[in-house]
Amino acid sequence: MIYLKLFLTFLKVGLFAFGGGYAAVPLIRETMTAQNWFEDEQLMELIAVSESTPGPIMVNLATYIGAKHGGVLGAAVATAAVILPAFIIILLIVKVMKNALKNEGVKAAVDGIKPAIVGIILATGISMAAGNIFAFIPEDAAVFDLKAFVLTAVFALIYFGSRKVVKNGISPIVLILLSGAAGVVLYGI
Amino acid sequence: MKQLLELFVSFAKIGLFTFGGGYAMLPLIERTCVEQKKWLTNEDMLNVTVIAESTPGPVAINCATFVGNKQKGFLGALFATLGMVTPSFIIILLISFFLESFLEIKWVAGAFQGIKIAVAVLIVDAAIRIFKKIEKNALTLTITAVSCLMLLAVDFLSVRFSSVVILLTAAAVSFFVYLAKRKGKGGKENDLS
């Protein structure tokens, strides 16, 4: 049943995504591949939309995927599921387990999850960049896309390099707008 | 009731006017809850940031739940959290109805072809940002490297296992290293909590 599947998927995402919106991306991506819900390409479009619309990125992703697969009810189920763990855990921490986060054992476990999150987000970014640059055709050699390779290098240079010029650098939305304009010129005409 | 509505509206405004997710919202949450409404002290704000960082889920939801609960208990938490998600829920729902047909327009598809490339850069950046905040030692660096390689193996070598397994293993390893270290110190530190 689609609603149950959406609920369980996003409950898992809400329970394991430490460290902000992008921590949800590897977890969402994995379910999508397993369920054949989406391709990487669509997920990247969704991330762009979530980043350029207001609200928490993780919630935006849940709402969109829920809506696509279960309509308005699906959107509500996925959104509720992604926020439920955070909601319950905060209430537990302030009401019942005031010292849970001060417990050295809990701290040690959380401190172990964070570097693992870094690793899985990094791997996701690398896979997606590789997927852009090489078109993987099954049973065939990967086809190298020079345009995508140059754009990846240029965007990384602009995005990371801008921090040396302006405080905090350019925002993700500015990068998305720039890349959209470049895309129209290079791919859309 | 009036206070519940005020919580809902305040967080709906925060949810409506911040782009880019949780960490981008913290300054606005601080301005609203500490400076304007005096719902939180500066110390509370620092606490909630630390709690949000060490608990799973969207940072903005963690904050809304915390503030709402502090003001009006469970109902307050519920109203603040609903306020936070309502604007983006409606916006995304509307977008979901037409995004796919929108993407069929040639220049829009071209734009997204470019945006896709930028998104990969943003994802790598998200990893770097979290990496900067964690403590760096032999254990955390190993966990970072091993989990990255394991997930790459899933992607490129078609090995099948869930990243949740990676996360839970990392938590367990870190916990046991902590236990071993404590034992190594001869149990000098008595942790009663």
Predicted ipTM of the assembly: 0.85
Mean pLDDT within B28-38: 89
Q: How far apart are CA B85 and CA B51, in angstroms?
A: 20
Residue B136 counted as domain residue: yes
User: Quick one: three-class SS letters along B4-42?
Assistant: HHHHHHHHHHHHHHCECCHHHHHHHHHHHHHHHCCCCCH
- Asked whether residue B11 falls in the same domain as residue B94, the answer is yes
Average pLDDT of the residues in B154-182? 86
B79-133: per-residue pLDDT in tens?
A: 999 999 999 999 999 999 888 888 888 888 889 889 889 989 988 988 898 898 8
Q: B120 touching A, CB under 8 A?
A: yes
Better pLDDT: B56 or A87: A87
Maximum separation of any 2 CA atoms in chain B, in Å: 68
Chain A contact probe: residue of B95, B116, B134, B165 with most A CBs at under 10 A: B116
Residue A176 — pLDDT band, cuts 50, 70, 90? Answer: confident
Cα–Cα distances in Å, from A155 out to A121, B24, B122, B167? 19, 21, 10, 30
For residue B20, the model assigns a pLDDT of 67
In a domain, B172, yes or no: yes
Range of the domain at B52: 2-102
Q: Which of B47-51, B124-128, B143-147 has the highest mean pLDDT?
A: B143-147
Number of domains comprising chain B:
2
Residue of B nearest to A10 (CA): B57
Backbone angles phi, psi at A64, to 5 degrees: -65, -50
**In terms of domains, do A46 and A104 share one?**
yes
Confidence class of residue B22 from pLDDT cuts 50, 70 and 90? low
Of all residues in chain B, the one with the smallest CA distance to A151 is B117
- The answer on A162 and A69 residing in a single domain is no
Co-location of B125 and B80 in the same domain = no
Q: How many contacts (CB atoms, under 8 Å) link A and B?
A: 393
DSSP B179: H
